[in-house]
Copies of this chain bind each other. A is one copy, B any other.
Amino acid sequence: MTFRDEEGDMPKGPTSADVAREAGVSQSTVSYVMSGKRPISPETRRRVQEAIDRLTYEPHAGARALAGHRTSTIAVVVPMKPEAGAQRLMMFVEEIVLAARRRDHDVLLVTADEGPAGLRRVAGRSLCDAVVVMEVGTEDERVAVARSLPLPVVFIGIPGDSTGLDCLDFDFEGAGGLLVAELADLGHRTVDVLGWGPDAVAQGINYVPRFERGARATAAERGVELRWHRPAGEADVRGAVDRALDSGEVPGLVLVTAIPETLRALSDRGRRPGRDADVVGLATDSEAESYGLTAASTQPRDVSRRVMERVFALIDDDTVPGRGPELVPAVLARRGSTRAARPAG
């Protein structure tokens, strides 16, 4: 209703000098009250705090960054391609923002398609104190750049060469093993895996080989035969299901992706998970819940939480060297009708 600029000059907002004057102390005391970096008498602290509240003072972020050599900002590099599963992505990001806010930090959003240049930019311009890179590839240019930057970079995902790097991820290898073991326990001698398509493999998505390694190792151990079905594209998901069903037995299926589509394809062929098929998968808790799936649960929030712990450890103590890869354990969650399922064989 009113003009934004009623008095003709921008409302400037109070500075720490204003607060100092109001509280009858020096500017440095105001600063130390806010940072807690030196002892302040209770009386002084109270007066300063009251002045801050009265003036609704907020420190100027840029001035603080310039003088203090820290921005209180974490940059996060996000792959903005919805194929990656927008929902999972949001869970990662949400927890990153929440963890940052708990430490009174902000989050700068950078898109992955800026590539290595994005890392150089946010570091060069002193836009942040640390950066989180989501979905690092097996071979990823950003890894080399990260090593050369003068600020901490934490990766979600495990690149091929992770020595001296800070990276962590859900334990996809363990997950692959758990899922195959689950079907083996149910009596299956043959397990059909509906895996990632050739595109995911080509992109160097780092968890694909790790999952497959874990599945293979356990299959070998348990004497189970693994049949891989890699849909050529989205359209081939049903085809892969068809192929798995054509053996005639009650199938044991491991799903790593395209879960609703796969379940629909099963249902269209009259197979009820838990009765006519044993279906387990790689899924978030909420996916497992809504599909009644036994799942090796990938919990984005847990991973993000650990990532942010690492980030702040590195910010707080910049002598800490890269701690190398850290894996968030896979947990098998049995749900819904799959639970008591028993195969025919």
Contacts and interface: CB of A to CB of B under 8 A. Distances in A.
A98 B1 CA distance: 32
Q: Which of A63, A90, A93 has the most CB of B within 10 A?
A: A90
Contact of A109 (B1, B108, B124, B147): B108
A61 B62 contact: yes
A106 interface: yes
Contact of A97 (B4, B10, B91, B111): B111
Nearest to A76: B109
A93 B114 contact: no
Nearest to A75: B106
A321 B106 contact: no
Nearest to A98: B111
Contact of A62 (B64, B87, B120): B64
A34 to B, nearest CB: 12
A121 interface: yes
Copies of this chain, whole number: 2
A65 B125 CA distance: 11
A150 B64 CA distance: 20
Interface string A92-134: 0110011001000011111100100000111011110000000
A82 B71 contact: no
A95 to B, nearest CB: 9
Given A61-B125, A66-B66, A164-B1, A87 B98 contact: no
A155 to B, nearest CB: 15
A122 to B, nearest CB: 8
16 contacts: A1-B147, A3-B321, A4-B318, A5-B150, A13-B124, A60-B66, A61-B125, A61-B127, A62-B64, A80-B93, A80-B97, A86-B90, A89-B90, A98-B111, A107-B109, A108-B109
Question: Which 5 A-B pairs have CB atoms at the shortest separation, nearest pair first?
Answer: A58-B124, A62-B65, A86-B86, A62-B62, A80-B94
